[in-house]
Amino acid sequence: MLNRKRLLNAAKKFGTPLYFYDADIIRRQISYFQDAFRTFPVQIRYAMKSNSNISILKLMLKEGVGLDTVSIPEIQTGLLMGFQPEQIVFTPNLVDFNEIREAVKLGTSLNIENLSNLEKFGREYGSSKSCFIRLNPHIIAESQTEKVANWHNQSKFGISLNLFDKLHEIISKYGIVVDGIHLHSSHVIMKTEVFLKGAEIIFNLAQDFPHLKYIDFGGGIKVPHYAGEKVIDLKELGNALKPKYNAFCNKLGKKIELWFEPGRFLVGESGTLLTQVKVLKSNGLVDFAGVDSGFNHLIRPMFYDAYHEILNLSNPDAKKKKYTVVGNLCEIDNFAKNRLLNEIREGDILAITHAGGYGYSMVSQYNSRFRPAEAMVTGDKMQLIRERDTLDDLLRNQIEISF
Ligand code: LLP
């Protein structure tokens, strides 16, 4: 349940548009995750691409969660925030080998997802450094949109199982120590069976990796985007995985540590985008509520057709009417189409919920508008965790030449 009063206070105190996070929800999600896999040796590495605000990273660190990173600056930020290199895994996609070199230098674990870089890794390090291999098991995962369905054979992610022979050829040619296998699907896992199918494939393949210590299941646990949406039950998943995992470890004769890289699962629900209705407008057919935000601040509805719940915090008891909630960008910019909302007046504050993951981390300055501020409540303390942009931020790094 959203704390309406607190959100309204935050909008008043910090202004809108504002990303507002509840630290208690992040803590709750972490313990829920830990609890679901309590009986396994497990490590949680937060996928910081979902939200890389340093205060959120600090909270993760405090709660004993490591980091999943995809770029060198993400690693550097993690290190700056006090994470140890061994708490960080680097899972880049199709990057220049120099980034891999850099990660090795910084001491993180490393996922390799293409044969080209694996070959370079072998040539450079032989068996002196270990790595994980990211595999693509060709499972058609469930997904709201094709854009995020990664476990299928058209996907650019991971090393295809069709290349398994070639993969092993490179590994033995250089004596590469593969101590982990990684399998990730992006937020499309809605059913325990899909996850278990992926796990079974990995458990079967694992026997071909004699140095194996870890299996990394990546992220991809779907979260609800509105109250009551049905999603996977992690506890049930943990219980269903357990016998398969036990049989697998017995067969291998050793305990394999499981890693997970949840992003949105940890932060999605904690974040709300608060925005103010500036203009009500009708074209005779549709009633538009125009807000002081847009897909420059939350791209998910436009980019993925993602559904985010919207609440009118200022007029919660009013009767419901249909609105198309739109942003102020100079093109189609919908947050929601024909959505039933409590009657909206100009000046009302709307909450766009479940926006903590891939919300701020995908903002832009399109239309030369300022990126929003971010604030967080922990206990009863409400604090800014990022200033709103200013004109200086828009102009930073631009160079004016003379003509
Ligand atoms: N691990 C790896 C290797 C990943 O590629 C991702 C997400 C994660 C973990 C975290 O996945 P999560 O638990 O957050 O689903 N911008 C899109 C999502 C892209 C996800 C990319 N990879 C969105 O807004 O839905």
Indicate the fold that domain 271-384 takes in CATH.
Answer: Lyase, Ornithine Decarboxylase; Chain A, domain 1 (2.40.37)
Is 23-266's fold the same as 271-384's?
no
Which position has the higher pLDDT, 392 or 229?
392
Residue 305's nearest CA partner among 124, 97, 145, 82 is 145
Closest CA to 132 of 152, 111, 150: 111
Q: What is the pLDDT of residues 258-301, one digit of tens each?
A: 999 999 999 999 999 999 999 999 999 999 999 999 999 999 99
Distance 187 CA to ligand 1 centre (A): 6
- Span from the CA of 207 to the centroid of ligand 1 (angstroms): 28
Question: Taking Cα atoms as reference points, which of 64, 57, 98 lies closest to residue 81?
Answer: 57
Which numbered atom of ligand 1 lies nearest the CA of 300?
24
- Arithmetic mean of pLDDT, 304-310: 94
- 130 burial via Cβ count (<10 Å: 0-12, 13-18, 19+): middle
Percent of the chain with pLDDT over 90: 82
* Residue labelled with tokens 């995809």: 70
From the CB of 263, is ligand 1 less than 6 Å away? Answer: yes
For residue 141, count other CB atoms closer than 10 A to its CB: 23
Tell me the pLDDT tens digit for each residue of 41-86: 999 999 999 999 999 999 999 999 999 999 999 999 999 999 999 9
Extents of the domains making up the chain: 23-266, 271-384
**Active-site residue numbers?**
330
CATH number of 23-266: 3.20.20.10
**Of ligand 1's atoms, which has the minimum distance to the CA of residue 262?**
13
> Which residue(s) pair with 111 in the sheet?
132
Ligand 1 geometric centre to CA of 48 (Å): 9
Q: How far apart are CA 81 and CA 272, in angstroms?
A: 24
Q: Each residue of 144-185: pLDDT tens digit?
A: 455 555 555 557 888 888 899 999 999 999 999 999 999 876
Q: What is the mean pLDDT of the chain?
A: 93
pLDDT of res. 160 = 86
**DSSP, residue by residue, 168-180:** HHHHHHHT-EEEE
